[in-house]
């Protein structure tokens, strides 16, 4: 009986080991390419494959120019994910360019489906992430440096230089998903109840309403 239990445990370990890569990112592809068909009425986890494809489906020029950072955060993320770049469908990768004005910030946020790694193109940034044990890991990075943010953890970047900054960010998902902490909590539709946020942040209802006004959906 003990030997049977050992075999069962070993079989379970093998199954978990084989399943681990699939759990780590997007599902494995089942053919060479599957260019996203945005026009298809079929709804599934990802996009169906387009029948007629060309080299243009695997090309994206949207990261050539700096993004417009004239906004409240002073930053702009220009994404090349499956929603804009059909050739990455089923490939489990995507990329983005992030531009920052002086003092600009990519506010605290998470990516539920991907680890992120950045390469600094220009400027000086303070970057960091926070673990589930509330431990902050932060670093000042500059041109040519690389920093990685583990999947699902809250992280941020802020321009600490006197001029513009920019990074290229890569993800191990065709659509990493992004939840900005402040926008998620104070700009949700329908809104999170004021008393819930007041209790969570230990502030008054009036302060919550004031913050909500800054993140009201437009």
Q: What is the pLDDT of residue 78?
A: 98
For residues 28 and 97, the model is more confident at 97
For the cut 60, the answer to whether the pLDDT of residue 24 exceeds it is no
Known binder of ligand: residue 5? no
Known binder of ligand: residue 209? no
* 8 A C-beta contact, residue 146 and residue 190: no
* 8 A C-beta contact, residue 72 and residue 200: no
Q: What is the mean pLDDT of the chain?
A: 89
Say how far apart CA 154 and CA 181 lie, in whole Å.
8
Mean pLDDT of 112-135: 97
For the cut 60, the answer to whether the pLDDT of residue 14 exceeds it is no
Known binder of ligand: residue 122? no
Confidence of residue 211 (pLDDT cuts 50, 70, 90): very high
Across 3-7, 124-128, 163-167, least confident range: 3-7
Indicate the fold that domain 67-177 takes in CATH: Jelly Rolls (2.60.120)
Q: Which residue ranges make up each domain of the chain?
A: 67-177, 183-214
Confidence of residue 29 (pLDDT cuts 50, 70, 90): confident
Rounded to two decimals, what is the model's pTM? 0.84
Known binder of ligand: residue 71? no
Known binder of ligand: residue 155? yes
């Amino acid at each position: 009986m003990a030997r049977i239990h050992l075999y069962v445990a070993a079989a379970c370990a093998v199954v978990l080991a084989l399943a681990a890569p699939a759990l780590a990112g997007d599902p494995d592809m089942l053919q060479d390419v599957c260019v996203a068909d945005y026009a298809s009425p079929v709804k599934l986890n990802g996009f169906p494959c387009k029948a007629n494809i060309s080299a243009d489906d695997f090309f994206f020029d949207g990261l050539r120019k700096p993004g417009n950072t004239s906004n409240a955060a002073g930053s702009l993320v220009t994404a090349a994910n499956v929603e804009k770049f059909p050739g990455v469908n089923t490939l489990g990768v995507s990329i983005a360019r992030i531009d920052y004005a002086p003092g600009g910030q990519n506010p605290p946020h998470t990516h539920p489906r991907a680890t992120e790694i950045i390469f600094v193109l220009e400027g000086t940034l303070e970057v960091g992430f926070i673990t589930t044990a509330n431990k902050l890991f932060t670093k000042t990075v500059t041109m040519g440096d690389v920093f990685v943010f583990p999947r699902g953890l809250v992280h941020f970047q802020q321009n600490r230089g006197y001029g513009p900054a920019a990074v290229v960010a890569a993800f191990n998902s065709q659509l990493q998903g992004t939840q900005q902490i402040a926008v998620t909590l104070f700009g949700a539709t329908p809104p999170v109840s004021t008393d819930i946020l007041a209790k969570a942040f230990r502030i008054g209802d009036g302060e919550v309403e004031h913050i909500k006004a800054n993140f009201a959906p437009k």
